[in-house]
Amino acid sequence: MQLSPPSPRRRRPSRAALLLRLLLVAALCLAFLTSTQERGAAPSSSSPARALLVVPRRGGLPLTTVRGRDDDGADAPPPHGLDAVLLPDWEVLLVLHPDQDYDDGDAPPAPAGNNATATCVFPGGAASPARPLGRMPTSGRRAYTCAMPEPERERRHNKKHLRAPKLVVTSEARSPPPPPQTASSRTAMHRWSGRLVYDAAAARDGSGDVLVFARGVNPRQGVNRDAADVRCVYYASIGEEEEEGVVASLPAITSAQQVFRCPRPPPTPAAGGHLRVTLAVAGDEEPIPSMATYSSSRRQPSTTETTKQQEEKKKARVCACTMVRDVGKFLREWAVYHAAVGVDRFFLYDNGGGGGDDDLGAHVQRLRRDHSVSVSVSTLAWPWPKSQEAGFSHAAAAHVESCEWMAFVDVDEFIFSPSWAGSPEPSKSMLRSLVAVGPDVGQITLGCRDFGPSGRTEHPREGVTQGYTCRRLHVERHKSLVRLGAVGRPLLNSVHHFELRAGFRWERSSRAVVNHYKYQAWAEFKAKFRRRVSTYVADWTQPVNPGSRDRTPGLGFQAVEPDGWPTRFCDVHDTSLRDATRTWFGHAFTKVPTSR
């Protein structure tokens, strides 16, 4: 009997080869699952479920609260959760739970209008006054700031984790006050010095997207991480004493500076519609710590506009936006002038400071009560340090429905055309004529003329346009009038201009300039040394980039007045804007009317 030849022995695959095959199969499965996700609006109830990449939960504040007991063992009021972050200069920012609304009678008394005071009480027992900021423009959550007391700062050096303070709100009404109610957190306080997702907002451009604001992901100017390396993770609290569960983990759409465009999460009834949102970055073990929340039902944005202003349906032709800090005394001159030449609405992003003569809220209220001028001003709390680019990105996205054009100019910058000098009175057609351009023009840039101290040693009481009349010869930098509908989806900007969508172009205007009252009397100029607002521009005291155009020629890294400061930066005597405003408004148009 003839036997068939033996079959050749098969070689057993190596362990490395098996591992490689398993990784390949896993990658193919993941690619298939993620390819089924929609990147636009949330699916309807009949849509297939989204494929989720479950990300480990980062320790943070659940959006639900639990009932605690006081020191005597009795039931205590449910602690209203808050988020807290330690900002530079030992400033602490507290943002209350999304459902904590001081207007609903369910929480501590409202600090405004009810003679209430707020205090931050730190774990060591030290306390400091808390200043209300109002509602955050994105989430509508109420926010406060307070200074960390010296004893608590010393404790900080001996502790790895900082505990958030309690917010204690007490009423000073004549009737017997109720027991103090507190907002407290059981979690560590965030640090602004590290990575942090600090805010989120619904885009207003009809896309249904969510804008997530985070620091530390793109720390270098001009270098942005690929959106493919970033995922947007939405959490919701499952129960009062349970961990937060992942609702969705979706690929980011764009990544630019501190702004990340994310798909909207699927509908969820959890946490009253409020979700915690964060970012997961490729290569990191855990998502970024987050104090940001998102609610699809919230009307965006929240500002201090009156009800009448919020109900206005007419789209303004020209608006103006600026980020402000301790510049309240400059507001009236800037707003009255620009309203007269064509700005319909003003949006002030309040970057902190305040108090005393520079209380922005008080200056805005006086301006609104002044019946001699017609100025529409809205303030938005934006307490995040060195986040001007992100604030302007928010402005471009939040106001696209209400403004056709936005002038991004500071309160020491005045748009002016030499052709206006001969006009007997100002007209709103002046600015509108500058934006009367072709439909493909998405941005109009205006060169800046930088004015010097003009011999002044203190702030001119009559106003900057009246007191500073000597400038440098050459035009420096530029500012822009931006058609908001033309801004690119990443919302990328350099403060001076935006990146535009395909099909739109820039236009450099030769008909107008920006008078920039940049180098003022030393007492005013040295205030800049506290902190700059731009994300990617070094603070004045940082010994870097001495030759940068963001530096002042002849000025070092300390707030020391250079010799001859009052006469510096004076190449051309220019009184054109001063003379025009005197013709239009008189000599004292910057003076606040006396209250009757």
Asked if 211 and 181 sit in the same domain, the reply is: no
520: in domain: yes
Q: What is the dihedral of CA 155, 157, 160, 165, to 10 degrees?
A: 40
103: in domain: yes
Asked if 284 and 352 sit in the same domain, the reply is: no
Asked if 373 and 451 sit in the same domain, the reply is: yes
Helix (H) / strand (E) containing 431 = helix 429-434
Asked if 208 and 172 sit in the same domain, the reply is: no
Q: Do the beta carbons of residue 416 and residue 342 sit within 8 Å?
A: no
CA distance 231 to 278: 9
How many folded domains does the chain comprise?
Answer: 3
Indicate the residue among 185, 206, 235 that finishes a domain.
185
Structural domain span for residue 540: 314-585
Q: Could you tell me what percent of the chain has a pLDDT over 90?
A: 55
Helix (H) / strand (E) containing 524 = helix 522-525
The gap from C-alpha 412 to its chain's centroid, in whole angstroms, comes to: 20
64: in domain: no
Identify whether 301 is preceded by a cis peptide bond (ω within 30 of 0).
Answer: yes
pLDDT of residue 160: 66
Asked if 327 and 446 sit in the same domain, the reply is: yes
| Plot region of 272 (φ>0 → left; ψ -120 to 50 → alpha; else → beta) | left
Supply the CATH number for residue 474's domain.
Answer: 3.90.550
Indicate the residue among 234, 264, 295 that finishes a domain.
295
Asked if 377 and 285 sit in the same domain, the reply is: no
Higher pLDDT, 488 or 50: 488
Taking all residues of the chain, what is their mean pLDDT, rounded to a whole number? 79
Q: Which of 50-64, 197-211, 519-533 has the lowest mean pLDDT?
A: 50-64
406: in domain: yes
Higher pLDDT, 506 or 547: 506
Sheet holding 210-215: strands in order across?
196-202, 210-215, 259-262, 254-256
Partnered with residue 255 across adjacent β-strands are: 260
350: in domain: yes
4: in domain: no
The crossing angle, in degrees rounded to 10, of helices 576-585 and 328-341 is 80
Indicate the residue among 132, 158, 185 that finishes a domain.
185
Asked if 372 and 262 sit in the same domain, the reply is: no
Asked if 363 and 440 sit in the same domain, the reply is: yes
pLDDT of residue 595: 46
- pTM for the complete prediction? 0.80
**Confidence category of residue 115, pLDDT binned at 50, 70, 90:** low
Asked if 224 and 269 sit in the same domain, the reply is: yes
Q: Do the beta carbons of residue 87 and residue 93 sit within 8 Å?
A: yes
Higher pLDDT, 96 or 372: 96
Supply the CATH number for residue 288's domain.
Answer: 2.60.40
Asked if 436 and 555 sit in the same domain, the reply is: yes
552: in domain: yes
Each residue of 344-382: pLDDT tens digit? 999 999 998 765 567 888 899 999 998 888 899 999 999
Answer yes or no: is pLDDT of 272 > 80.
Answer: no
Asked if 398 and 276 sit in the same domain, the reply is: no
- Which residue carries 């204690």 as its tokens? 168
pLDDT of residue 549: 62
**Confidence category of residue 327, pLDDT binned at 50, 70, 90:** confident
What token pair was written down for 176? Answer: 């017997």
- Which residue carries 């759409």 as its tokens? 253
- Please give the single-letter amino acid code of residue 65: T
Asked if 430 and 519 sit in the same domain, the reply is: yes
CA distance 356 to 362: 10
Answer yes or no: is pLDDT of 236 > 70.
Answer: yes
Answer yes or no: is pLDDT of 283 > 60.
Answer: yes
**Confidence category of residue 176, pLDDT binned at 50, 70, 90:** very low
pLDDT of residue 341: 98
218: in domain: yes
The mean pLDDT of 409-437, rounded to a whole number, is 97
Each residue of 245-261: pLDDT tens digit? 899 999 999 999 999 99
